[in-house]
Chain A
Amino acid sequence: MAQPGDQDRDALIAEASLWLARLDTGRACQQDLDAWREADPRRAAAFAEVAGAWTRLDALRGADGQAVPGPSRRAWLAGGGAALAASLVGGAWLGRDLLLRDRAITGVGERRTLALPDGSSVELNTDTEVFWRFDRKRRRLWLSRGEAALMVAHDRLRPFELFTSQGLARLAAGQFNARLRPAGLDLIVLAGRAAVETASGAAQAQVVGPADARQALEVSARGVAVVATPEDQAQSVQAWRRGEIVFEGQALSAAVEEYNRYLTRKLVIGDERAGALRLGGRFLTGDPDSFLDALRTTFGVRIVEDGPSRILLKSR
């Protein structure tokens, strides 16, 4: 099989795979990719093909969900041989520690509130996964994807720690909203105190009295920023807990990206003119049709049904 064509293709696929991996780990950015991709159309093709394989791997996500039915540890263990075998595809690497954690997930468009053993509670937004383990010494909660609102109960002896891929947050009793983004973490302190530690830096914020401004800890690769957040903005961040989504002058492209978090049938921007429209308003996350109706009547956006997605175009 050492054909010259094959070799070219191998090299291209290898290169494209490396780009995708770099983007996934956050070690390359969109501009880097664009520069590489636009230099040779064969690169664009190889990247699209690798991205296709990457997307097909999403089928695995379902496998895990089926294998692990409930959030309780008993269900985890009672899942039996088949389930365990499915999650042990990689061999015996699945540590004991992971087996001792409780777990809860929500699918796309779902929302769910859980009571934690210490009297705290956590509410999961769409497509979210958390694990937790509370013992005599500490209370640990892992947010492995998505967004969660936390109501942390007071317990002087056991600190509450929130673990994410972007860093660790120590939370005192209070109310918080944590959202994991592809390249960062947004932790909003609505009440109480939080201290964040990441590879790029550390910071803390506190909101003590009701008159204090809410604080946002924004974790990114560059560091941690503390931003005072006006009340109405903090409210729109929390709108998801009421099943709502609030737009305040965002470009339609950004709004659609946000809305798509809740949709299995995604919206796609069909042309730049549509993407550049700016919109405001309050919509229901569970009712995309009303959102699309508003776009149709207010902005003259055309919606083209296209199998698994809907394409938004600006009509003249």
Chain B
Amino acid sequence: MAWLRDIDRWFAARVLPYAGNYRAYARKLVGDEGDAEDLVQEAYAKVLGVAEWRRLEAPERFVLTIIRNLAFERFRRAKVVGIRQIGVLEMDALPDPAPDAYAVTSARQELDLVLAALDRLPAKCRKVLTLRKMHGLSPGQIAVRLNLSVSTVEKHLAKGLKLLTKALATGDGRSIGKRSSSWRNRAIKTETR
């Protein structure tokens, strides 16, 4: 997989496992689901542009900081700012991120999670991805086996992968872990101050 750079591997191993935390934090800051997603994507893009990424000791906290700064930036530009949002932003401390479920689950649970996500895919996508990743068949072999052209196999791979990426991302947001509830409390306290 030469197309995966070291930084991509690092990103998958050190940054993505906290995706649920970033989304939750961004939602706290901006309220709106879509805007929050936007902030997270922008933060990802920024962290992938850091030349010295290898020296980041806690990349997950770095991402949260970026999200906060981006949110500040937005508020400065926005004409009307909700009081709730300012309250949260005034917090000095960032949340204590805990790795998402998949980063701490056993291999067995991870397998269940992936299988469940796979199960929700359209039939053709599921077949193709199962042959590719469970049975280790090459795209060419899959094309022969299912009597499809390689470009059709490619389309199913792409579609399945798109749906899975989104499904796994939402699945991650499902459980943020105990430590994060403490920052949620803090946030609420700040809001009502």
Contacts and interface: CB of A to CB of B under 8 A. Distances in A.
A165 B140 contact: yes
Instruction: Classify the secondary structure of A's interface with B.
Output: helix
Contacts of B179: none
Interface centre among A23, A51, A311, by most chain B C-beta atoms within 10 angstroms, is: A51
B139 A60 contact: no
Contact of B13 (A17, A54, A307): A307
Interface string B45-70: 11111000010000000000000000
Interface string A41-59: 1101111111111111111
Contacts of A53: 161, 164-165, 168
Contacts of A95: 145
**Size range of the interface on A?**
35 or more
A249 to B, nearest CB: 21
B17 to A, nearest CB: 9
Interface centre among A52, A54, A309, by most chain B C-beta atoms within 10 angstroms, is: A52
Nearest to B137: A144
B33 A6 contact: yes
Nearest to B119: A89
A60 B158 contact: no
Interface in A141-199: 144-145, 165-166, 180, 182
A30 B54 CA distance: 23
Contacts of B151: 25, 27
A47 B11 CA distance: 11
A87 interface: yes
Contact of B161 (A20, A89, A308): A20
Interface stretch (B75-83, B85-93, B127-135, B185-193): B127-135
Given A17-B157, A52-B12, 16 more contacts: A4-B34, A5-B34, A5-B38, A6-B34, A17-B165, A21-B161, A25-B150, A25-B151, A41-B46, A42-B41, A42-B42, A48-B7, A56-B114, A89-B130, A144-B135, A144-B136
12 contacts: A17-B159, A20-B157, A21-B155, A24-B154, A25-B154, A41-B49, A44-B48, A48-B8, A64-B135, A89-B134, A129-B136, A311-B54
